[in-house]
Amino acid sequence: MTAKLAGRAAISSISAQFLRAMVVLTAIGLAGCADVDAMLFGESGTEQETAPPAGPTAAAPTPAPVQAAPLTTETQPAAAVGTVATITPVTIEPGSDTGTAVSKTVASLRSQLAALQGTLMANAQRYGDLRNSGAAAAGAYHEARARITTRLQMGTTRGNPELVAEWNRAQSALDQLAGNINGLSAVGTSVASDASTAHYMLDQINATFNVSGAVDEDHRQLSVLQDETNQSIVLIDRLLTDVSADVQRQTAYVATERANLTVLASAIKNGDLYGADLGSPMLPAAGAPRASAFGYSGTPLVVIRFDHADVDYQQILYAALQQALQTRPGAAFSIVAVSPTRGTASAVQLAQTAAHRHAQEVLRSMTDMGIPASRLAVASATDPAATSSEVRVFVR
């Protein structure tokens, strides 16, 4: 009884971990970057179809001897994708009919276990296929991203259509990874259902030992079936653990790369390489207080003077933000539109309008670089010493 309760607790813990992973997956959202596509490139994502989780397999009405073939979650991909636990299904021993009512129950339970082994094989094979598919998609994504960063590093034109095409390929590969996560979720749901079925079968086997009218052979076959069921539970537990870990790991990976793609889109638009997403390393820990008000004082982090058309400030701004966040990961920023006070009242008003427009442009650039909008605020000021409209960025 103690061993049975411990087994139930273990499988419940694994199932709970898997369900928590599903909540995380739903919360962060794995849809394509529709806003970035619409702004820069148009719609390029492809919808991923997800197969519904397989339902429980019906038990066969008559017993049948089963010799399960060796099963592994590793298929034969073109390239190795990492180590995956090998699953060798349990060999189910056939039994003879003793003519008792208990013997018929044993035959039915044996048939149900055979069906469960078939489901386990299908889920393990599907898991291996999804891992191989995900590895291929990840490789395609990193190849496209490497080509983009290489061209940007060497220097290229703004909005280069060749890099736009590479960006679309990278996004398509990331969409495939997101679709694989949905497939893994379906496999995990099916495996969790198998775990419940296996434990229910074990309860039935234990109860059958107490049924009267059995012969010694019936109890021997029940003992063998009990061992085979316990071994099946171990295999199901292992597969559920692997699937749950993959879902959590790939969910976090796709979320991070979505943010990096957004930064890369801005870099392609400006024809200049930035770096990694600034939002990822600076996110506050859970429970960290958020800034309730924004202000500015002291020396600005960077001053951008808009004294001519097409001011190229993005790379300097990115470097300054990166340095500030290395010192203060939880920093917020104030973007101040500064206008001169020289000239007529009409000229001053026009200068203020231009400064505010430039401040909004800098705000968009900073969000493209990964700074959350909740950490940014825009203000206005005048400076008699200014000769043109400026944008000054302060760290708060």
CATH number of 323's domain: 3.30.1330.60
Closest CA to 139 of 80, 58, 204, 51: 80
Bridge partners of 394, per DSSP, are 334
Per-residue pLDDT, averaged over 125-132, amounts to: 92
Half-sphere exposure of 194 (CA within 13 A, CB side): 32
Residue where one domain finishes, among candidates 270, 304, 333: 270
Per-residue pLDDT, averaged over 375-386, amounts to: 87
Of 8-22, 28-42, 133-147, 346-360, give the range with the top mean pLDDT.
Answer: 133-147
pLDDT tens readout for residues 161-188: 999 999 999 999 999 998 888 999 999 9
Res 19 pLDDT > 60? no
Per the CB < 8 A criterion, the answer to whether 254 and 174 are in contact is yes
Q: What pLDDT is stored for residue 373 in this prediction?
A: 80
Residue where one domain finishes, among candidates 207, 242, 270: 270
Token digits of residue 392: 């000054």
Asked if residue 308 and residue 242 are part of one domain, the reply reads no
Residue 131 is inside which H or E element, if any? helix 101-154
Residue 89 is inside which H or E element, if any? none
For the ranges 52-61, 220-229, 348-357, the lowest mean pLDDT is seen at 52-61
Asked if residue 254 and residue 106 are part of one domain, the reply reads yes
Residue with token string 């959350």: 372
pTM: 0.56
* Helical ranges in 155-215 per DSSP H: 161-208
Asked if residue 260 and residue 364 are part of one domain, the reply reads no
Q: In terms of residue numbers, what domain contains 169?
A: 2-270
Asked if residue 165 and residue 81 are part of one domain, the reply reads yes
Q: How many domains, the chain? A: 2
Contacts of 103 (CB under 8 A, 6+ apart): 95, 97, 214, 217, 218, 221
Asked if residue 260 and residue 177 are part of one domain, the reply reads yes
Residue with token string 């104030």: 334
- For residue 19, being part of any structural domain is answered with yes
- For residue 248, being part of any structural domain is answered with yes
- For residue 277, being part of any structural domain is answered with no
Strands (E) in the chain, as ranges, are: 302-305, 333-339, 376-382, 390-395
Per-residue pLDDT, averaged over 113-117, amounts to: 91
Per the CB < 8 A criterion, the answer to whether 275 and 322 are in contact is yes
Closest CA to 185 of 280, 284, 52, 12: 52
Residue 278 — pLDDT band, cuts 50, 70, 90? Answer: low
Asked if residue 52 and residue 24 are part of one domain, the reply reads yes
Asked if residue 384 and residue 264 are part of one domain, the reply reads no
Q: What pLDDT is stored for residue 394 in this prediction?
A: 92
- For residue 40, being part of any structural domain is answered with yes
- For residue 276, being part of any structural domain is answered with no
Residue 257 — pLDDT band, cuts 50, 70, 90? Answer: confident
Per-residue pLDDT, averaged over 16-40, amounts to: 44
Rounded to whole angstroms, the Cα distance separating 378 from 357 reads 11
Q: What pLDDT is stored for residue 255 in this prediction?
A: 84
Asked if residue 106 and residue 246 are part of one domain, the reply reads yes
Q: Is 50 exposed, middle or buried (0-12, 13-18, 19+ CB in 10 A)?
A: middle
- For residue 351, being part of any structural domain is answered with yes
Rounded to whole angstroms, the Cα distance separating 25 from 254 reads 10
- For residue 278, being part of any structural domain is answered with no
Q: What pLDDT is stored for residue 299 in this prediction?
A: 87
Per the CB < 8 A criterion, the answer to whether 230 and 124 are in contact is no
Residue 295 — pLDDT band, cuts 50, 70, 90? Answer: low
Asked if residue 304 and residue 266 are part of one domain, the reply reads no
Per-residue pLDDT, averaged over 105-114, amounts to: 91
State the first-to-last Cα distance of the chain, in angstroms, to the nearest integer: 61
Percentage of the chain lying above the pLDDT 70 cut: 72
Asked if residue 38 and residue 116 are part of one domain, the reply reads yes
- For residue 280, being part of any structural domain is answered with no
Residue where one domain finishes, among candidates 238, 270, 302: 270
